[in-house]
Amino acid sequence: MWFFNSPEIVFGEGALDYLDELVGRRAFIVTDPVLHRLGFTEIVAEHLRRAGIELAVFAEVEPEPSLETVRRGAGVLRAFAPDWIIGLGGGSAMDAAKAMWVLYERPDIDPASINPLERLGLGVKARLITIPTTSGTGSEATWATVLTDTEAGRKLGLGSRESLATLAIVDPAFTAKLPPRLTAETGIDVLSHAIEGYTTTWHNDFSDGLCLKAMQLVFAYLPRAVADGNDMEAREKMANAATIAGIGFGNAMTALAHALAHPFGAVFHQPHGRCSGLFLPYTVEYTVRSDNSRYSDIAYALHLPAADEMTAATAVAGTIRDLMRRVGLPISAAEMGISAADTEAAMERLCDLAEMDYSIVLATRIPSHNELAELFRYVQAGRPVDF
C-alpha cells in the first residue's frame, strides 16, 4: 500500500489569470524580499484584487528558511486570519508557506516536529496555493518542507502529506527574467529530482512516467533556457519539467545525491541545485553497483546506450556531466573552489550529516561511513566513481 498525491495544477502562459476568479476572503502571500522588491508580489496581488480578495504580505523569507522565520511568519499569519495562503517564490518561500500553514492551523505544533505520521487536520482555516518563480525545486507539487535549524547548523527535511498545496499555478512568465546561472542551477535540480525519483527504493508505477518525462524535458530545453532566457517555449517546458519532476519525486522521494548534497551545501554554503547536480553523476556511478538499479530505463528514454546497467549508468553519468558543462555548472567540488584540504577538514561532519539525512536510506546502494568519505573525495577531485 502506498499513496500518490498531487495538487490541482494550472499551467502555461497566462496561468496566473486563474487567480482572478479565486473564491475567498483574505489571502496571505509568503515570499522573499528580493521577489517583493522586483514587483512579483504586486503581479499576484493585482489578480487577487480582481477577485475581490483582501491581502497581506510576508516578504521576509530568507534563502534556506529558518525555523525562526517560520515561527515569526506564522504569528503574522494568525493575526491576519486568511482563508488562502500563497507561497510565491522558489523552494524557500513555498516551503516556508507550507510550514506557516501548519502552524496557523495547528499552533500547538513545533515546526521542527512536523512529520508524516501525525494527522494534522489542515484545511479548516485556510488552503495553500503555490506559485513557483523558478523552475527547479518542484516544491509547488510536493509535501516536503526543508527548513534550517540555525542553532544545530543543519537542514531539516520535514513534511506531512497534508501540507501539499491545494493548487499549484505554474506560469512561465515569472521565470523569464531568471539569469543564466540561476536557470542552470535550478534546472539541474529538476534533473536530480527526476533521476532520483526514478531510482529511489520508493519508486512506483505512478511516479515513474513523470520522472522519465521530466528528464527528457530537461535535456531538451535546459540548454535553450540558459542560452536565451527569452526563449519562452524553453522556459515553459522547464517550468513544466520542474513541476512534473516535483510530483514524481514527491511521491517517490530522493536518494543518495540529495543525501550528499544536503550536508555539502550546508557545510560549504552552496546553493541546493548546484550541489544536487554536482553529486548526481557520481551517485549514478556508485549506485549502479547494486542489485536493483534502473539506469537502463533512463538511458533508453534518453536514447543513450542501454545494453546493460553498467553501460547505461556510464552513459547517463556522462551525459549529465556534458549537460552541466553546456550550461556552465561545475562538475567537481574543486571547480567550486573547495579544496581537498577543505573537504578533509569537514569530512567527519559531512559523513555524519549524510548518515542522518532521510534520503540516504532510500538509495538502492547505501554507502558505509568509509565509502561516504570516499564519495566526497571523488566529487572533490572530479574523479568518476569506480568502486
What secondary structure does DSSP assign to 267-285, as a single string?
A: HHT--HHHHHHHHHHHHHH
Nearest approach, Cβ of residue 1 and another protein (Å): 5
354 touches 263 (CB < 8 A): yes
How far is it, in rounded angstroms, from Cα 357 to Cα 157? 8
**Terminal-residue alpha carbon distance, the chain:** 35
User: Quick one: 362 or 379, whose CB is closer to another protein?
Assistant: 362
Residue 345 neighbours by CB under 8 Å, 6+ apart: none
User: Quick one: 251 or 296, whose CB is closer to another protein?
Assistant: 251
Give the count of beta carbons closer than 10 Å to the beta carbon of residue 252.
26
Q: Which residues contact another protein by CB under 8 A?
A: 1-3, 112-113, 115-118, 157, 161, 201-202, 355-358, 360-361, 366, 368-369
Nearest to 282 by CA among 317, 315, 233, 249: 317
Q: What amino acid is encoded at 38 in this protein?
A: L
Nearest approach, Cβ of residue 378 and another protein (Å): 20
Strand ranges in 154-282 using DSSP code E only, listed in sequence order: 154-159, 167-170
252 touches 210 (CB < 8 A): no
User: Quick one: 331 or 354, whose CB is closer to another protein?
Assistant: 354
40 touches 174 (CB < 8 A): yes
Nearest approach, Cβ of residue 313 and another protein (Å): 22
Nearest approach, Cβ of residue 359 and another protein (Å): 9
User: Quick one: 3 or 151, whose CB is closer to another protein?
Assistant: 3
Strand ranges in 150-191 using DSSP code E only, listed in sequence order: 154-159, 167-170
User: Quick one: 116 or 179, whose CB is closer to another protein?
Assistant: 116
- Which residue has 569506480 as its cell numbers? 386
- What are the two backbone dihedrals, phi and then psi, of residue 165, each rounded to the nearest 5 degrees? -65, 150
Give the gyration radius of the chain's Cα atoms. Answer: 20
Find the helix or strand (DSSP H, E) in which 263 lies: helix 256-268
Nearest approach, Cβ of residue 76 and another protein (Å): 25
Nearest approach, Cβ of residue 368 and another protein (Å): 6
Nearest approach, Cβ of residue 177 and another protein (Å): 38
User: Quick one: 74 or 114, whose CB is closer to another protein?
Assistant: 114
User: Quick one: 159 or 265, whose CB is closer to another protein?
Assistant: 159
Nearest approach, Cβ of residue 117 and another protein (Å): 5
Pairing assessment for the beta strands 154-159 and 144-149 based on DSSP bridges: antiparallel
Nearest approach, Cβ of residue 68 and another protein (Å): 18
User: Quick one: 10 or 363, whose CB is closer to another protein?
Assistant: 363
User: Quick one: 243 or 287, whose CB is closer to another protein?
Assistant: 287
How far is it, in rounded angstroms, from Cα 198 to Cα 196? 5
How many residues does this entry show for the chain? 387
